[in-house]
Structure 1
Amino acid sequence: MLALEFVSTVRARRSGPVDELSDVEGMTVWGRAHAAELGLDPGFTASEELWREVVELRQAVRALFARAVAPGPVSSADADRLPGFAESLALVNATALAVPVAPRLEWPADGVPVAVSVSAGETGQSARVRAALAAAAIELLAGPHREQLRACLAPRCVLYYVREHPRQEWCSVGCGNRARAARHYRQHRTS
C-alpha cells in the first residue's frame, strides 16, 4: 500500500529515528523506487520545493493515521510534532483535488484492456506526485483497511501497519521477536 510506504519513510533503527525523506536526495531515491505508482520517469530528480511539499504532506497523513488508530497508541516517532487534525485533513483533501484524474483505457495488441488513472489536465510534476500520495492516503483511510490500521507496539518501532489477523500486535516478525525478547528480559530482571 503506497500510503503505508509513504508514512513509513519515518522509521527507527538501533541508532535512532531515520527519515528517508530527510533531504532532496532522499526524496529522489524514494521517488525513483515508487516511480510507477507516482507516474514518474525512472530518472526522476526531486526539487527542493517538491521535497518540502511532500514532507509537509507526509506529516499531515501521519496526523490522520494517528487519529485513525485512536484510542490506541500512535507512533512515537513524531506524535508530539504532528500538525492538527483539521489542518491535516484540509491539506490532504486540497492536495488530492489539485490534480483531477480520469480513467484511460489501455489495450495492448497482445493483452487485455486495463483502466489506468491519468491526469485530466496539464499539471506539474510536484502536484501529480503529491496528489497520488494524498489519494492513496484517502483510499486507505476511507476504505475497509482503516479499521485494521495500527501503530506497532514493539520497542523503538515507529511504523504503522494494517493488521492481518486479530491477534497481530507488531508490524513484522522482527518487531514481534524484539517485543518478546524485551518482555522476557523485563520479567527475568525483576525476579
Structure 2
Amino acid sequence: MSLTLEFVSTVGAERSGLVDRLSDADGMTAWVREHAAALDVDPGFTATEQLRAETVQLRQAVRALFARAVDPDPPSRADAASLPGFVESLDLVNATALAAPTAPQLSWDGEPALVTVPAVEAGASAWLRGRLATAAVEFLSGPECTHLRTCQAPRCVLYFIKEHPRQEWCSTACGNRARAARHYREHKK
C-alpha cells in the first residue's frame, strides 16, 4: 500500500466505531515509527502535540482531495461531513509540500545510489509533513489516482486502489461483509 493510502487510512473503522491512529501524540509516534523508512525519519522519532495536530490537519486536507478524486462516487463515510473545502485543502497540501523541499544527492557507499536530503534547513515537523504532502501530491498526480475508490462495505471507511475491473471493496473481509449484508436485506422478513 502506498504511503499516502497508509496516511489517510489512519482513520479506520472497527466494530466499536471509528478509530483514529493519530488521536494522540503516542499514536502518532507509533505510526511514524512504523513508517520511518518511507518517511525518511529517525526510527526513534517522538511526536509532539503540535506536530500531531498539524499532521491531522494535513491528513484531513488529503482526505478532502481523495473525496474530490473519487467524485462522482461518494467519499469515505468516516469524515465526509467534516472535511475542509477543496481549495483550502489543495492550498494546504501544496504549501506543506514546499515547506520541506528535497534535493537529489548521489550516495556512493560501494555502489552509486540516489538519496534525497533537505534542500533547505527544515525542522522535524516541516520535514515530516513535507514528506507526507509530497507523497500525496505524487499519488494524486500519478496513474494510481484514476483507480482510487471508496470501499462501500458496511462500516468500512477506507479508500483503496481498484486493481481488478470487478473489484468493489478494499479487502476480502469487506466483500464478505457486504455480501452478507445484502443477503440479509434480501431475505429479511
TM-score class, shorter: over 0.9
- Aligned partner of 1:4: which letter? L
Secondary structure of the 2:31 match is: helix
Q: State the Cα deviation string for residues 133-183 of structure 1 (Å, max 9, x = none).
A: 001111111011111000001001000011101111100111111111111
In structure 2, the partner of 1:185 is 184
Q: CA deviation at 1:107?
A: 2.6
In structure 1, the partner of 2:19 is 18
Matches within 5 A, 1:38-57: 38-57=39-58
Secondary structure of the 1:123 match is: coil
Matches within 5 A, 1:149-188: 149-188=148-187
Q: Structure 2: how far apart are the matches of 1:71 and 1:57?
A: 23
**1:107 partnered with 2:108:** yes
Secondary structure of the 1:145 match is: helix
Q: CA deviation at 1:48?
A: 1.1
Q: Structure 2: how far apart are the matches of 1:165 and 1:114?
A: 34
In structure 2, the partner of 1:5 is 6
CA RMSD of aligned residues (A): 0.9
Q: State the Cα deviation string for residues 5-50 of structure 1 (Å, max 9, x = none).
A: 0000000001100000001111100011011111211111101111
Q: Structure 2: how far apart are the matches of 1:108 and 1:176?
A: 47
Matches within 5 A, 1:113-132: 113-132=112-131
Q: Structure 1: how far apart are the matches of 2:185 and 2:109?
A: 60
Matches within 5 A, 1:21-36: 21-36=22-37
In structure 2, the partner of 1:65 is 66
Q: After TM superposition, what 4+ stretches of structure 1 lie above 2 angstroms from structure 2?
A: none
Secondary structure of the 1:138 match is: helix
Q: Structure 1: how far apart are the matches of 2:103 and 2:174?
A: 40
In structure 2, the partner of 1:91 is 92
Q: CA deviation at 1:113?
A: 2.3
Identity %: 66
Q: Structure 1: how far apart are the matches of 2:45 and 2:165?
A: 40
Gaps of 5+ in 1: none
In structure 2, the partner of 1:79 is 80
Q: CA deviation at 1:108?
A: 2.3
